[in-house]
Each structure stands twice: as C-alpha cells, then as structure tokens.
Structure 1
Amino acid sequence: MSKDLTQSGTAGAGGSSLSSELFHAGVYKANQGRIVRQLTALAVWVIVALGCWRLYSFLPSAMGESSLAARAIPAALLAAGLWFGFRVVNWPRFADFLIAVEAEMNKVTWPSKDELIRASVVVIFTIFFLAITLFLFDVLWQFIFNFIGVTS
C-alpha cells in the first residue's frame, strides 16, 4: 500500500522537479496565493535585474566599449532570470508553500494604530532601560577591577 502512495505522490504537485518545470508556460493554481506569488516573483526579478545591471556596468570596461557581447550577455541573463522568476513561483512545490503562506497571513490579526504605538513605546523604553542598566554594570565592574588592580 505504501508503494501506491509514493507512486501517486510523485505524480502530483510534489513530484515535479524544477528543471522540468522551467520549460512549461502554464500557471499553477492561478487564483490561489496571487499576492505572495507576485511579490516573490517581483523580488526575484529585482535581484536578477540588479545583478544584470551590475554585470552590464562591468563588462564594457573588461571587454571593450563596442563589444556586442558586453551588451548581449547581460540581456540574455536578464531574459533567462525573468523567465526563471516566473517559473519558480509556478513550481508546484514552491507555489503550494506560497499559497499556504498567504493563507496564514490572512489569519493574522494585525494591531490597530494605537496598539502599535503603545507597543513601540514599551519596546523603546525597555531597550533604553536595558542599555542604561548594562552601562551602569560596565562602569561598576570597571571601577571594581581598577580598585583591586586587575586593570589599570
């Protein structure tokens, strides 16, 4: 019976590898987890674009200003990275994770503005109090060590 479960489990969402998913154009569960998936794809695209921009600013000086490859390599990597960003959020295993993340985020009860301000004030004063306390302990131990001659 466990053999049947493992065989049926690999045929579903969890069994497809990322390398096989890179060559499909479909959108996995298009109406679920849209916001988190779009933000994740956007983050991947920004990282890829910044990397390609950095490469584009470096290659002309290394390969020569008029080199076609100095422009074509970052452009090809940008296109591949944009496609990868689109495909990775539609990879069934990762997409199911992002769908679950969005479902959990919808369950969160966010604090009101007044609660947020009160909690922030408590945290700021606690950190301030701990900083003053640690400073006083440091001064006290420094005085004790200087008094008994451990430090000069």
Structure 2
Amino acid sequence: MSRDIAGTNNAPLTSELFHTKVYKPNQGRIVRQLTALAIWVVVALGCWSLYATLRGFLPAGSMLIPAIPMVTLAIGLWIGYRLVNWPQFADFLIAVEAEMNKVTWPAKDELIRASVVVIFTIFFLAVALFLFDVIWQFIFNFLGVTS
C-alpha cells in the first residue's frame, strides 16, 4: 500500500477490489450505507435495462439473456461495496458525514416560511418572464422583425 505525505492510503481501486475488509467501520456509516445503496440501485436499474435489451436481440430461451445481467449485477454490487470502502472515497464520505453533523437544520415553521418565500419568488419571476416574452413578441411583430 502506498501512502502520501499526509499518511493517507493511496492504493488504487483495482487493488482494493480483492479485499473484504471494511475501512474504518465505525466512521461515516450512514453516508457510506446510503452511497452504497444509491450505487446498487443504479447498477440494478442498468442490469434491468440490459436484460430488456438482450431479450430483444438474443433468441428466446437463450441462457445468456438472464446470465449476462446477473453476472453484471453481481460485479456491480461488489464494486459498489468496495468503492465505499476504498480509503480515498471512504475518507471523503466520512468527512461529508462529519460536516453534515455540524449543520443547523431549520425548525418546521422556519422551513415553511422559507419555502413559501421561494415558491412565491419563483412564481413571480415566471410571470415576469412570461410578460417580458409577450411584450417583446408584440414589439417584434409590430416592427415586422418576426412574422
């Protein structure tokens, strides 16, 4: 394993794929689990799409139709698991969770007030842009620039 000046692990992901150890298991668990879940969902949806595509290209009854997506799914799930335990990425996710723990979340009434302000502002800007578009379209039509 190579280490940089700060002492962090710089092993490439390819060498980490063949380990089963969990890197810093008690740190950043929630963020790492949610990240792994998101990766797994993307891999599963991709394999489902691959399965549907193969059903259209390969002859019916071919054993390759379910086999290729299943092997791809297994590899993708393993890579997703190992990715969140890759020291460089895991340290980033640990830092993300540490920063999220520092966030002061708004109370419910403050959240509602802020949401109303944002929704009103977006609505007002949409109406203003619509009116600008109508006015400029009228001016250009009057001048004969557009038909």
Give the shorter-chain TM-score range. Answer: 0.7 to 0.9
1:131 aligns with 126
Which one-letter code corresponds to 1:130 in the other structure? L
The count of corresponding residues between Structure 1 and Structure 2 is 146
Question: TM-score when scaled to structure 2?
Answer: 0.87
User: 1:132 and 1:66, CA in 2 relative to 1: closer, same or farther beyond 3 A?
Assistant: closer
Paired AA for residue 26 in structure 1: K
> Who is 1:78 aligned against?
73
Structure 2 residue runs of 5 or longer lacking an equivalent are none
Contact 1:14 1:93 survives alignment (8 Å): yes
Q: Residue 101 of structure 1 is aligned with which of 93, 96, 101?
A: 96
**Aligned residue identity for 2:28:** G
The reply on whether 1:24 has 2:19 as its aligned counterpart is yes
Q: Does structure 1 conserve the Cα–Cα contact (< 8 Å) formed by 2:51 and 2:65? A: yes
CA RMSD in angstroms comes to 2.1
**For 2:43, which of 41, 48, 52 is the aligned residue?**
48
Identity of aligned residues (%): 71
Once the 2 structures are TM-superposed, how far is the Cα of residue 20 of structure 1 from its aligned partner? 0.4
Q: Structure 1 or 2: larger helix share?
A: 1
Larger radius of gyration: 1
Bigger shift: 32-41 or 123-132? 123-132
Does 2:147 align with 1:122? no
Matched to 1:56, the amino acid is Y
Quote the Cα distance in structure 2 between the aligned partners of 1:11 and 1:80: 32
Q: Structure 1 length normalisation: TM-score?
A: 0.84
Q: Does 1:67 align with 2:62?
A: yes
CA distance in 2, matches of 1:85, 1:42: 8
Distance across 1 between alignment mates of 2:23 and 2:95:
14
